[in-house]
Structure 1
Amino acid sequence: MDAILPRTRAFELTDADAIQQTFTVDYGNRMCLRTEHERPAMRYQRTEAGPLALDTLVQTATMDFAIEPLDGRLVVTRSSSARLERTCADTAGRYEAGDLFLMAYPDEPYTVSFHPGGARNCVIDPALLHRVAANAPGRKPQPLRFTSLDPHSPQAAADWWATYAYVSGLLESPQPVAPLVVAHATQLLAAVTLATFPNTALTDPTAGDRHDASPATLRRAVAFIEAHAGEDISAADVAAAANVSIRAVQLAFRRYHGVTPMTYLRQVRLGHVHRALLAADPESTTVAAVAALWGFADHSRFAALFRATYGVAPSSVLRTSG
């Protein structure tokens, strides 16, 4: 996969035409904006990271949008301070500050009234969702559909927001972010979205998945992970390399290694960090830089994992290297 690097743009939009044009370009679908305010204003920031976009919206006037289908993209919205009223298909919702919801079913038109205040949008390309919940190679593709626009539960919504806050902190940082960190962050948010909102993605293994979760499957999956640990790979990529479904490869790892494929990938990457620190020059290298290169963004979590695995702090390994 090509490296994904975040890009942030910010706008001060001061009339309805500018707001409508900007949204039409960024969301890629036609829409009609109506407002009774003569000079509606909106502060709009977008951070793009490949198949994921994070939008911050703060506006001063009530705006009514009529919007065509999203062509497969999913928009997850959380109100910061605004009241939003949305209709889509046969559903209607009214949301206040702190509420989380899907803006629409991706193949349905919708309307939304956005009252003064702020909101955050997370726009997810369908390709990213399918990387997390892909079909087995050779099997008939099954479309991924969401069956509700509201989260499973308040706790699921809270978990999604905690993940979003972590991911947005990484992607919106003015400091450079390593490509593997960005890739992991985008996949993480897509996976949590599938866990938060009811959908048709299958999570329990079938009889065929149990049959496919064999030692041969595990060998193929392990070989792929070890050969591509430095690249942006997902559970779907590992499953495709092993020629089985995601559920089958997950079951194989649980049976024979007691971990998930992504946990195994993290262990392999941690081994690369350990070897790099042993070979590094402590005068010109930092632990954080090496860790980020292999996809570890949270230094405290990385340090705890490293110590639990190797019995020493990563800084100790670096100090004694060379």
Structure 2
Amino acid sequence: MTEPSVGPNAPGNMRTLVHSNNLDETREIISSAYSPYDLSVLGDPRAFSAWYAEGGFPGITVSGLQYGAETLVAPQPLDSYLLVCQLVRGSVKVMSPGREERFVGPGETYVLDPYRSFRVHWSPGARMTTVRLARETVEQAAADALGLDGPIRARFSLGGTLSKAAARSWAGVSAVVHREVLGEGVARSSPLIASQLTQLTAATLMQTHRLVTDGVDAQRTGVVAHPAVRRAMAVAEARADEPLTLRDLALAARVSPRALQEAFRRHLGTTPLGYLREVRLGRAHEELAAARGDGDVTVSQVAYRWGFNNLGRFAAYYQQRYGHSPSSTLRN
């Protein structure tokens, strides 16, 4: 059996788990990586080859998959996770029995939710990447998007992104995820950033691909009393070093995520996560000031510790709030 290794086609921190022309071996390993599935070669079996590699950080797995021959795969429903698939080259025809079918070409995406039965017909040499999210993450993001208090059974159309603008938005988030995985980004070592990026990816998925929620209506948010805002503020200040999400703050406030967002805009002119960012910015400032003159402390260390994985954006926020750069606070 092929041993997991960094193969010649596996970029960055992705490990090659399959690099083989053995049909049975491929079926066994990829069934373990995804879900049990049937794999058959529609052309000359001697032309069959397969490559599969994966990598990731807590919350997200990125994988690459390629078949060298015309191939048909028929997995069982994914059950515990969701896949956002994007063709890199070649084409596939994805079919959901009794529901939908679609031809997908380079650069296009489709979503396989945890409940869908499907088959995928691969053209020879087709290659794709996938972004994997846990079902619980997706279902909570769907509830947040609809202003509901609890997770919902989230299903998706095979139709790809909703618009060209949606495609650009998804491509941007996907590129960040891939850079974190392939380029040894800080999400691999920072639970806070990994959680934030996972939540951002799931929230972007809700806005860029068609969510199917038959029989579910968004709740009316109504008016939230100011004490709910104060409760969320208290949690943000007490647990700023933890990977808090909008859902966490809404639970603490005892209201729905959408209601809390509206309350923050009404009373504070910001969002719950915007307020949390300001708290973390203040903590970073305090830490930089306390470490003034300490050569062992760096701006990047402090920024990452408080959840700012983009140093340029951190510096811009800091400059806007304090009137000088974070490095000036550390030096002077």
Residue pair 1:226, 1:268 contacting (<8 A) in 2 also: yes
Measured after TM superposition, the shift of residue 57 of structure 1 is 2.1
Residue pair 2:147, 2:219 contacting (<8 A) in 1 also: no
Residue pair 2:59, 2:195 contacting (<8 A) in 1 also: no
Question: Counterpart of 1:33 in 2: which secondary structure?
Answer: strand
- What whole-Å deviation, never above 9, does each CA across 1:216-266 have from its counterpart, x for those lacking one? 110111111111111111111111111111111111111111111111111
Instruction: Single out whichever of 288-297 and 149-158 deviates more from structure 2.
Output: 149-158
Residue pair 2:71, 2:121 contacting (<8 A) in 1 also: yes
**RMSD after superposition:** 2.6
Larger RCO, structures 1/2 (Cα 8 Å, 6+ apart)? 1
Question: Counterpart of 1:229 in 2: which secondary structure?
Answer: coil
Instruction: Give the aligned partner of residue 4 of structure 2.
Output: none
Instruction: Give the aligned partner of residue 15 of structure 2.
Output: 9
Q: 1:142 to 1:181 in 2, by over 3 A?
A: closer
Q: 1:246 to 1:121 in 2, by over 3 A?
A: same
Instruction: Please tell me the residue identity of whatever aligns with 2:115.
Output: D
Instruction: Give the aligned partner of residue 47 of structure 1.
Output: 55
Instruction: Give the aligned partner of residue 179 of structure 2.
Output: 169
Note the 1:148-167 alignment, pairs <5 A.
149-167=159-177
Q: What CA distance in whole angstroms lies between the structure 1 residues aligned with 2:313 and 2:147?
A: 35
- What whole-Å deviation, never above 9, does each CA across 1:135-159 have from its counterpart, x for those lacking one? 7999676433335542211220121
Q: What CA distance in whole angstroms lies between the structure 1 residues aligned with 2:162 and 2:62?
A: 22
Q: What CA distance in whole angstroms lies between the structure 2 residues aligned with 1:131 and 1:245?
A: 12
Instruction: Please tell me the residue identity of whatever aligns with 2:116.
Output: E
Question: Counterpart of 1:74 in 2: which secondary structure?
Answer: strand
Measured after TM superposition, the shift of residue 186 of structure 1 is 1.0
Runs of 4 or more above 6 Å deviation: 135-138, 201-205
Question: Counterpart of 1:199 in 2: which secondary structure?
Answer: strand
The unaligned stretches of length 5 or more in structure 2 are: 1-12
Q: What CA distance in whole angstroms lies between the structure 1 residues aligned with 2:149 and 2:204?
A: 25
Q: What CA distance in whole angstroms lies between the structure 2 residues aligned with 1:157 and 1:120?
A: 15
Residue pair 2:58, 2:191 contacting (<8 A) in 1 also: no
Q: 1:128 to 1:269 in 2, by over 3 A?
A: same
Instruction: Give the aligned partner of residue 31 of structure 2.
Output: 24
Q: What CA distance in whole angstroms lies between the structure 1 residues aligned with 2:272 and 2:45?
A: 53
Q: 1:299 to 1:117 in 2, by over 3 A?
A: same
Q: 1:204 to 1:299 in 2, by over 3 A?
A: farther
Instruction: Give the aligned partner of residue 271 of structure 1.
Output: 282
The count of residues paired between Structure 1 and Structure 2 equals 310
Instruction: Give the aligned partner of residue 295 of structure 1.
Output: 307
Instruction: Give the aligned partner of residue 193 of structure 2.
Output: 181
Residue pair 1:131, 1:234 contacting (<8 A) in 2 also: no
Instruction: Give the aligned partner of residue 209 of structure 2.
Output: 197
Residue pair 2:155, 2:211 contacting (<8 A) in 1 also: yes
Counterpart check, 1:219 vs 2:256? no
Q: What CA distance in whole angstroms lies between the structure 1 residues aligned with 2:297 and 2:150?
A: 49
Instruction: Give the aligned partner of residue 39 of structure 2.
Output: 33
Measured after TM superposition, the shift of residue 82 of structure 1 is 2.4
Instruction: Give the aligned partner of residue 146 of structure 1.
Output: 156
Instruction: Give the aligned partner of residue 68 of structure 1.
Output: 76
Q: 1:179 to 1:139 in 2, by over 3 A?
A: closer
Measured after TM superposition, the shift of residue 271 of structure 1 is 1.0
Residue pair 1:278, 1:317 contacting (<8 A) in 2 also: yes
Q: What CA distance in whole angstroms lies between the structure 2 residues aligned with 1:124 and 1:228?
A: 25
